[in-house]
Structure 1
């Protein structure tokens, strides 16, 4: 019977020495383990690779600068062009971290320590990514909405739909006729906030009779990533649920997936093969260790700030 492999840590048990025989094995394991784990992928679409600086325009309503006009006989047909939003710039930021394997970890076959180092590196890189997202959200001054009350009570259904409506009705400036076409389809929140949401009485009252089969309390509550990620549940028929322990329990984000902004890489996520620090040797150089450097240079920017609403005060 063939052996089932369900994660990067399944399969034949290799010793640390065997892992290190191929200097690319552990770095590739780190890079593979990070694929699909970045929460910024929920918010940002992929743009072309940049040269370190990206110029872009903030979104403007998709209407011409001038309205259609009545034309007299022999009159000239007027011409117009779409209005453009303010010009902005995003800068690529290089970030990185390294993992180190000691001579003792190799010689004494400390597989568990190696695995802990890999997992800690992955979590650190993921944390850096979401913190960068929250930073650009603050700079872009995305809309915020105060919850009616903490979700231990209150009415979270009303709060979430108020946020959905705010995204759906987003418009340019004070002109209600120049609306954007955003359609929110995702909510991101802390796992504890999600638990408060689905157990709230105002939420549960809708899951009676035949609808009880769709009650999120009885559905799979596991996320796909180290910090949660997309769950298998969908709320209110339209919102996919994503969770992260890096989101403050008092906040949630309702948004159009990949519609808030863009990401552009000068250097994609890259890991070097293991090498001895301070000079190559059988003992791992003067520090008796080997390391792999993980680095990425990426620009992220919010060009559609009204495609997301930050819901506050839910905890």
Structure 2
């Protein structure tokens, strides 16, 4: 078949099927998904408003937390409204360009979230290992620069994936066995040689997850060494307490991310519905948990939330 054949034009739309193997259960799965999304939106918007309104929270840790909250809002909103439409109304059609746009936002802001978590680990390292230098090293200007760098990294790394897919020929296959436009799920529908797409996607994943997990691991190894040298148990517990929230958030993000990454490439024996379910939870659970974890464990934020509800109660 010639490349000029109409069969190789981009399809006008793709059809997202949701979670293969759980088609009958999807209607009911949508309810907990909707609840988690509502908690995510409410929690992250509340965090953003509190950090903006409280001058005492205009510090590096809370500015990074505001970046994380914004990233979580973009991530969950890029996926969940369309997913709920598939589960409840069967509206799985998504235009070709819209699919690429959704893919761009999902993968770009997944990269941004990983970068922000790395920056937060660096912030904890400076705060615990070099507390006297913290304010001078991590000024507001430096925090904004780090946030901008993380965003630019995500855009520059993910954009070529979308560009390469836009140039790929597609045959008659237009059914995506997923509830959103995930990069590899779309690549599998292309007719041409997809080796460049696959290799580049693997490269981006390794650059983002690999470099960020190494930097986070190094930061917390150095933190652990400093903490264990503290003379008193109380001092060690206090230092661990300041890192506990961040460690919980890191685990909530990276554990399902790594599971999704490895099962996509090496987990052929894992049932597809488990892979797709985890892939959905990966973009939904961290945005829901992050504001809860930080809201409960961070005294300044918790005090502000309590004060806000007391004022409304009066």
TM-score, normalization by structure 1:
0.29
Instruction: Name the structure where helix makes up a greater proportion of residues.
Output: 2
Instruction: Name the structure where strand makes up a greater proportion of residues.
Output: 1
Who wins on radius of gyration, i.e. which is larger? Answer: 1
